Amino acid sequence: MSYTPLPGRTGRIEYRKRGTGELWGQDEIRITRGADGRRVFAAHCEMRFGEEEVVRDSVLSVQADFHPRDAYVRIMRQGRLTGTGWFLFSDTEATCESWTEAEGRISQRMPIRRPIRGFGIHAVQGDGWLGATFPYDKGPGHVQFFGRNLLHSLHHFGATGPFIVTSESGLRYVGPETVTVPAGTFDCHRIAFVGLTNNHPDYDMWLTRDGDFIYVKGEVGGYMDSVFELAELKGAAL
């Protein structure tokens, strides 16, 4: 039997200051789809914002309906390893086994109820998959809260943990928009986070309408005042 690569897409997302265009970070991403319909997303993220220097390597797999199945997160901060962790999700439970420099060895078990919004791994494409289960058919203006949301860190750059933490934020559908970025022109859903916790600045994002929910663009206000844009994308829709 001959070898055939899995269907996949690769890309790069750049973080730039609004106005000056100064580059302060980027994500290199890869998404594949297996024969069972599960997608696997891997991201290598590097950023330097002020005195904060963070490198994250993340892997997240989701079922065909984008319910998370398992994840891995490794964090380096200021040039040294500060945390690494593995997560597993069933229909009823989320578990974590991790180590952090600050907390040491951690084991967690938390009950969940489907559908959950997803699992936040802080790579911006991971943010995009938080919008994969949104009911877009309800039209612009619809606001959806999914209850307790799971993520690996409440730090704005995902620089703490990794371990399971929760937020109560929701999403609002702004509407369909066509967006042009360095990687091309894309038909997108625009959604905005509402009820953000931990003093996170306002945050909107644009995701492809092709079923892959590729992160095309993001805008964040406040002290970040930045734009995230898809700079490269290879591969056909999965």
pLDDT digits (tens, 9 = 90+) for 61-97: 999 999 999 999 999 999 999 999 999 999 999 999 9
Q: What is the per-residue pLDDT across 40-67, written as a single tens digit (0 to 9) for each?
A: 999 999 999 999 999 999 999 999 999 9
According to the model, what pLDDT value does residue 1 have? 75
The residues near 137 (Cβ < 8 Å, ≥ 6 apart) are none
Contacts of 177 (CB under 8 A, 6+ apart): 188, 189, 190, 206
Name which of 72-76, 96-100, 165-169, 230-234 the model is least confident about: 165-169
Q: What does the pLDDT read at residue 154?
A: 94
Asked if the model's pLDDT at residue 197 lies above 90, the reply is no
pTM to 2 decimal places: 0.95
The structure tokens 């200021």 sit at 78
Residues whose CB falls within 8 Å of the CB of residue 50, separated by 6 or more in sequence, listed in order: none
